[in-house]
Amino acid sequence: MRFLVFVLALVASVCFGQQDLHDTQCPLCAMDVIPSLNQSFKGNQAVYACEMAGHLETLANPASNVLRGAVALSGSTLEPPYTRAHMGCPVCGSTDLKYSMRWGSQGNQKLYTCSKEHADMILADQKKYYVDNGVQLESNGFCKHASVMFDGFQSSVHSTCVKLFFQPWVLNSSVKYAFGFIGIVCMGILLEWLGEYREEVEKKFLDKYGITQSMDQEATLHDNSQPSQAPLLVSTAASSLIQPTTKIIQQKTIKLPLWCTIVLSVLYMIALTMGYLIMLVAMLYETGLFIAAILGLGIGFYLFKETEQDEMSGNIDPCCST
Ligand SMILES: [Zn+2]
Ligand SMILES: [Zn+2]
């Protein structure tokens, strides 16, 4: 019985004795890794990737040549984060590890082997030593994982899924992606419409509820109060010194009642929220959804902008314009 417990403990330590994932960085960008994003190798070894779209695919793809040549280990213990890992050579399973191959130029990940020959065998055919035969590479679905970070403009089709606005909103099927696309187009149209609608409401409010306040202001204009206009001063100096010109300026201001300004403010806040959401879509760097955002704003402009107006202007910056 005691022997059985010992064997179980040994098996468990071999199976679960992993590297310290809190201290493991992505070989491509040195960001912290996500434990679920990994490509495991035989011998209880693995390479881990960060959340950035496409980084795991790059690591698992032998053609990207991220794995560097073998270097002999200097000491008998492995470097962090592998100090407590129970690993074996992916080729022969030997736990007597003598060589390491560095993953990329960033981070601290390595692949260990028993000998230079076995390291070269892995470099020659990396995929052969994958535990799951590199199933992660073949995407039979629409896309996999989920990310809000794309490394430059990319499409999520057959690549990393888009996480749109909220944690559970992962567009991981063609139907969900289509809904996302249509939703963003609609948001763009709605934002353009809202801009026009807000202007109309403001005009109506001013016509209906605006209270005109006129204030008569007596302004005394001394020509010599403007020292910057030197030539003018010279020509009129003589007359103005004798009689300062006095003008009555009538100022008209239209004030809206409080509830009208509140309604206009709420409309403004709704437009601002939508503008920011569209900006977040653009910042995803997902090609399809970026096109959806631009398409929506374009259709909205076409449908709702008053083309008879002398000046046609759209909101170039959807988030920050008033
Ligand atoms: Zn990365
Ligand atoms: Zn070996």
Would residue 231 count as lying in a domain?
A: no
Check residue 57 and give its pLDDT: 86
Q: What is the number of the ligand closest to the CA of 94?
A: 2
Would residue 240 count as lying in a domain?
A: no
Check residue 289 and give its pLDDT: 92
Would residue 175 count as lying in a domain?
A: yes
Distance 315 CA to ligand 1 centre (A): 35
Distance 111 CA to ligand 1 centre (A): 17
Do residue 161 and residue 270 come from a single domain?
yes
Check residue 234 and give its pLDDT: 45
Check residue 318 and give its pLDDT: 61
Check residue 274 and give its pLDDT: 93
DSSP state of 127: G
Task: Return the CA Rg of the chain.
Answer: 34
CA separation for the pair 199, 282 (Å, rounded): 26
pLDDT-flagged residues of the chain (< 50):
10-15, 135, 137-138, 223-240, 322
The pLDDT tens digits of the residues spanning 103-115 come to: 999 999 999 999 9
Do residue 83 and residue 146 come from a single domain?
no
Q: What is the number of the ligand closest to the CA of 160?
A: 1
Q: What is the number of the ligand closest to the CA of 121?
A: 2
CA separation for the pair 159, 142 (Å, rounded): 8
Check residue 97 and give its pLDDT: 92
Cβ–Cβ < 8 Å for 160, 144: yes
Do residue 33 and residue 93 come from a single domain?
yes
> How many domains does the structure of the chain reveal?
2
| HSE toward the beta carbon, residue 158, CA cutoff 13 A | 4
Residue 299, domain extent: 142-216+251-306+317-322
Do residue 302 and residue 169 come from a single domain?
yes
Check residue 110 and give its pLDDT: 95
Check residue 137 and give its pLDDT: 43
Check residue 319 and give its pLDDT: 60
Do residue 195 and residue 271 come from a single domain?
yes
Does ipTM exceed 0.90? yes
Contacts of 79 (CB under 8 A, 6+ apart): 108, 110
Q: What is the number of the ligand closest to the CA of 58?
A: 1
Check residue 135 and give its pLDDT: 47
Distance 155 CA to ligand 1 centre (A): 17
Do residue 148 and residue 281 come from a single domain?
yes
Do residue 123 and residue 147 come from a single domain?
no
Check residue 138 and give its pLDDT: 44
Q: What is the number of the ligand closest to the CA of 98?
A: 2
Check residue 159 and give its pLDDT: 78
What does each C-alpha distance from 195 to 59, 260, 264, 268 come to in angstroms?
Answer: 46, 17, 11, 8
What does each C-alpha distance from 45 to 15, 78, 174 come to in angstroms?
Answer: 10, 13, 34
Do residue 146 and residue 293 come from a single domain?
yes
Distance 95 CA to ligand 2 centre (A): 8
Q: Tokens in use for 204? A: 């109506």
Do residue 38 and residue 160 come from a single domain?
no
Check residue 163 and give its pLDDT: 86
Distance 177 CA to ligand 2 centre (A): 45
Cβ–Cβ < 8 Å for 197, 270: no
Do residue 71 and residue 171 come from a single domain?
no
Distance 115 CA to ligand 2 centre (A): 6
Would residue 232 count as lying in a domain?
A: no
CA separation for the pair 227, 233 (Å, rounded): 8
Check residue 307 and give its pLDDT: 62
Q: What is the number of the ligand closest to the CA of 106?
A: 1
Check residue 314 and give its pLDDT: 58
> Maximum distance among all alpha carbons in the chain?
119
Would residue 48 count as lying in a domain?
A: yes
Check residue 233 and give its pLDDT: 45
Check residue 19 and give its pLDDT: 82
Check residue 242 and give its pLDDT: 52
CA separation for the pair 139, 136 (Å, rounded): 7
Distance 91 CA to ligand 2 centre (A): 5
**Of 138, 163, 196, at which residue does a domain stop?**
138
Check residue 54 and give its pLDDT: 82
What does the buried/exposed string (b/e) look like for 286-320 if buried means 16 or more CB atoms within 10 Å of the residue's CB? bebbbebbbebbeebbeebbeeeeeeeeebeebbe
Distance 277 CA to ligand 1 centre (A): 25
Would residue 44 count as lying in a domain?
A: yes
Distance 99 CA to ligand 2 centre (A): 10
Which residue from 280, 262, 289 is spatially nearest to 319, judged by alpha carbons? 280
Do residue 198 and residue 287 come from a single domain?
yes
E strands in 191-316: 211-221, 245-255
What does each C-alpha distance from 80 to 19, 185, 243, 274, 310 come to in angstroms?
Answer: 8, 48, 90, 46, 68
Would residue 146 count as lying in a domain?
A: yes
